[in-house]
Amino acid sequence: MSFDVDLFVIGGGSGGVRAARMAAATGAKVALAEDSRLGGTCVIRGCVPKKLMVYASAFREMPGEARAYGWDIADGRFDWPSFRKTLHGELDRLEGIYRRLLEGSGVMIHDQRAHLVAAHRVALADGTEVSAKHILLATGGRPERPEMRHAELGIVSDDVFLMETLPKSMLIVGGGFIACEMACILNGLGVAVTQFYRGAQILRGFDDEARGLVAEAMKAKGIDLHVGTNILEMGPADQVMWQGAVGDNMADAAPEPAAPLPRGPVRVKASNGTERVFDAVLFATGRAPNSRNLGLEDLGVQIGRRGEVVVDAYSQTAVPSIFAVGDLTNRVNLTPVAIREGMAFVRTVFEGVPTPVDHDLIPSAVFTQPELGTVGLTEEQARDLEPIEVYATSFKPMRSAFAGSSDRVLMKLVVSQATRRVLGCHIVAPDAGEMIQLAAIAVKMGATKEDFDRTVAVHPTMAEELVTMRAPVRKA
């Protein structure tokens, strides 16, 4: 049977673009459809603009620190419209690069929505149908709003980069890495930030000691953090507060409102007994896979409880011709993982080398202030599996100590008593993301604590503590 293309990719984010380019490099005829902007969440409304905002927000403390080092420098004023213009110019540039890379690889780009009509057939929004030997789904995920009355008054992470003006005050709802990163960014840009999280501590799933230090640092920098707290009711500040249960009368909640950003002021009644008005409310309460309206269920593709496309170790669905990678599968929702999954798919299908996806020992970073870098098991996870030793130290780094700052860092290794392998490494410090990338190489290779000990320290640095800790602080 002949097909129009060898591979049709639905989704132009990092995973889809990498798979399309690699497949085309094997000589395959490839097409790709994207109904938004090439680059996907990471490049357009996620990692890249977020990191640029992290850089911008960090300059707030620079004048004070510089004065401590003898510089005669005055506090400045942040210009959001100027930054926003430059930011979107950079995103346009990056999107152009993605388009040129695809075109240069010979990939046919369809700037429109696509859905499946058969196991080997894709329909485009303009009515065109394309037959494909293989179909790769890489549609990513989307931020969710909670099911409550007037949730449309809040914004989500996608909206932050579109705000025309910075609000004076903002409530951020959530305790995951997106919520905490946004809290630090906006606080650094001069917004009065309040954060609610319904759990006992932010950054669930990360090492308890590390996330505790991050929480304390966030509060020390002026973020009004409330754990064990959630919104009971919310509504326009100029209207009487609506009384009712969360989730009632959802017909009045618009999932994608078109009002200017932000949409405040918003009156919020919280479970801690407070009632306040905020210029804006940001919901960072979770993301969901973009599996809706793709025609999957009718073809026999299995959809999980949270809307994820269920795949095997080779990213193949229950329909042999259909594969899925990235956040759509809700395995490990990180951009580099989506790229690796796309690469493994091409190796398996187009290069004839069956390559399962390796999700073991994936490093990650949370770009709070200070940053949190992590790879491997947390102390809590490891001690449930086997006897361990914990090596940890917390101290004021030289740079901030000289400037009179109270900032502290954490260096922590979780070690197996039996094998001496380093099971986990956790760093809370400025540039922890840079450090954990390098530490992850050693952890992935199976380095032991003695391998770390044999490594000569680079002095004076923060990271030297990773190779100078000799005695465990506790065993479990």
At 371-388, the pLDDT tens digits run 999 999 999 999 999 999
Q: What CATH number is associated with residue 381?
A: 3.30.390.30
pLDDT at 245: 33
User: CA 66: distance to chain centroid?
Assistant: 31
Question: What would the mean pLDDT of 36-49 be, rounded to a whole number?
Answer: 96
Residue 355 lies in a domain: no
354 domain-assigned: no
Query: Is residue 216 one of the residues assigned to a domain?
Result: yes
* pLDDT for residue 260: 59
Task: Please indicate, yes or no, whether residues 163 and 281 belong to a single structural domain of this protein.
Answer: yes
* Same-domain check for residues 268 and 304: no
Catalytic option among 88, 134, 426, 459: 459
Answer whether residue 270 shows pLDDT above 90.
yes
The answer to whether residue 356 sits within a structural domain is no
The answer to whether residues 387 and 476 touch, using CB atoms and an 8 Å cutoff, is yes
> What local confidence, expressed as pLDDT, does residue 248 receive?
33
121 has a pLDDT exceeding 60: yes
Judge residue 206's burial from the number of C-beta atoms within 10 Å of its C-beta, 0-12 exposed, 13-18 middle, 19 or more buried.
buried
358 inside domain: no
Peptide bond into 370 cis (omega under 30): yes
pLDDT band at residue 242 under the 50/70/90 scheme: very low
Q: Stretch 387-399: mean pLDDT, rounded?
A: 97
Decide if pLDDT at 246 tops 90.
Answer: no
Q: Is the pLDDT of residue 91 over 50?
A: yes
User: Is residue 359, in this structure, part of any structural domain at all?
Assistant: no
Can you give the pLDDT at residue 362? Answer: 98
Residue 207: closest CA among 444, 451, 388, 470: 388
Owning domain of residue 169:
145-285
End-to-end C-alpha distance for the chain, whole angstroms: 61
Q: What is the pLDDT of residues 164-212, one digit of tens each?
A: 999 999 999 999 999 999 999 999 999 999 999 999 999 999 999 999 9
CB atoms within 10 A of CB 82: 9
Q: Are residues 164 and 247 in the same domain?
A: yes
212 in any annotated domain: yes
Residues 262 and 279 in one domain: yes
User: CB within 8 A of 459, min separation 6: which ones?
Assistant: none
pLDDT band, residue 103 (cuts 50/70/90): very high
Asked if 420 and 445 sit in the same domain, the reply is yes
Number of domains in the chain: 3
**Last residue of a domain, which of 285, 303, 323?**
285
Catalytic site includes residue 459: yes
Same domain membership, residue 260 and residue 162: yes
